[in-house]
Amino acid sequence: MWRVREDTATNQFWDNMVETKRITDWLTRLVQIPSVGPENAGPRSGDSSEARLAAELESLFSELGAEVETEDVYPGRPNVYATWRGESERWLAVDIHMDTVSIETMEGDPFDGRIEGGRVYGRGAVDTKATFAILLALLEWMRERGTRPPVNLVVCATADEETGAHGAAVFRDWVRRKGLRLDELIVAEPTLCGPINGHKGAVGVILEISGTAAHSSKPELGQNAITAAVPVIQALVAEQERLRTTPVATELGPGTLSVTMIKGGQALNIIPDRCTVSVDRRLTAGESAADEAGRIVALATAASPLPVKATILHELNPFYEAASKALVQQLSEWSGRAPTVAAYASNAWAYEGLAGTVVLFGPGSIEQAHRDVEWVEISELEQAARLYLRWLGVSES
């Protein structure tokens, strides 16, 4: 019998402080492998990407008995997929992003991974290498005892979360190609171990209106791109008003649309031949990023007397699960924290319909993420590890 007796598994793991040290040792080691996303690289980070961390995780997961595959999200920036086969029909998955934000303004050594005052410090400590450390510690501990989780477990180490969140779409397509039917999918983010069951989506569009330059003493010889932008902006304001007054069914609140930048003109005495208008659209549950991007382009095209060229910067769907879903309720009960929705976006944008339930969950607070000093409380790591043992069906307490 390979399975740990349920009533004693947690104690077996936690009786000994060595097991907490096992998690913090892993976290220190992972923080010490820089994985700043290339878009966030700077003089201090040098050339950077997730590649080194991905290679390290690939071999660690293999050593821990997983079937491992990698798939490039961008050249040299792979997702790593690790699958542990269980003996039940249940399929659980965890998405943990490898990339971190910039370290350029951080205090001290951002990659020292030091342990001090009950915390582990360094870039990625809370966002989001903590969950890698926990799963590596649990799987390593089980392997040493000849056990493994009873469920089927897929861990996806994703590239490119912090900028484009494109690694998530690549993982989603991999799950579909494999024909996997995931029961539950956790997206690792710092949630103080409580469940986050929704966040808004986002669409970014730049509208470029083209006119014809002329001397402003003879404006009739030109086509003024700035004045052509006026009815475009009026149409966008009307759309924002429509969104504000449309009733919504979830705690995500209404979708919003904001005109956030306008650029145009060359000189006081030249009729402007170009004007760009930037639009930031936030999507609520039930809205589709592709549809709403298309609607913005159609509104602008219909309103403008001059040609409009649209560039879509990003199309991220909203994420929403009813708080009544079993996994959301379970995590809430186990952590003592009510389900909440997040102000930030995550890889969950890509996962609608991919699993029975999708939820954001992980140790530590988002308030410590992206800061000049980043850390995670060791007590949070312990709590998350306990919850992972329960979720994986290894223990009941």
Which residues bind to Zn ion, rule: CB under 5 A? 127-128, 189
Our CB check for Zn ion shows the closer of 123 and 274 to be 123
Provide, rounded to whole angstroms, the least separation between the CB of residue 207 and Zn ion.
Answer: 30
**109-113 own/partner pairs: CB under 8 Å, 24+ apart:** 110/44, 110/374, 111/31, 111/32, 111/33, 111/34, 112/31, 112/32, 113/27, 113/28, 113/29, 113/30, 113/31, 113/32
| Degrees to nearest 5, angle at CA 145 with 140 and 149 | 65
Residue with smaller CB distance to Zn ion, 129 or 148: 129
Of the two residues 4 and 366, which places its CB atom closer to Zn ion in the complex? Answer: 366
The H or E element that residue 100 is part of is none
Measured from the CB of residue 30, what is the shortest distance to Zn ion in angstroms? 14
Is residue 148 within 8 Å of 2, Cβ to Cβ?
yes
- The neighbouring-strand residues paired with 268 are none
Residue in the shown chain whose Cβ atom is closest to Zn ion: 127
Cβ nearer to Zn ion, comparing 49 with 128: 128
SS3 209: strand
Nearer to Zn ion, 79 or 128 (CB): 128
- Strand order through the sheet with 274-283: 256-264, 274-283, 201-210, 308-316
Strand partners, 119: 116, 377
Spell out where 117-158 has E strands.
Answer: 119-121, 152-158
Residue 212 has what DSSP assignment? B
In the complex with Zn ion, which residue's Cβ is closer, 273 or 374?
374
Nearest distance from C-beta of residue 348 to Zn ion, angstroms:
11
Written as six digits, the tokens of 84 are 């542990």
Closest approach of Zn ion to the CB of residue 161, in Å = 6
Q: Cβ 165 to Zn ion, closest distance in Å?
A: 10
**Least distance to Zn ion, CB of residue 362, Å:** 8
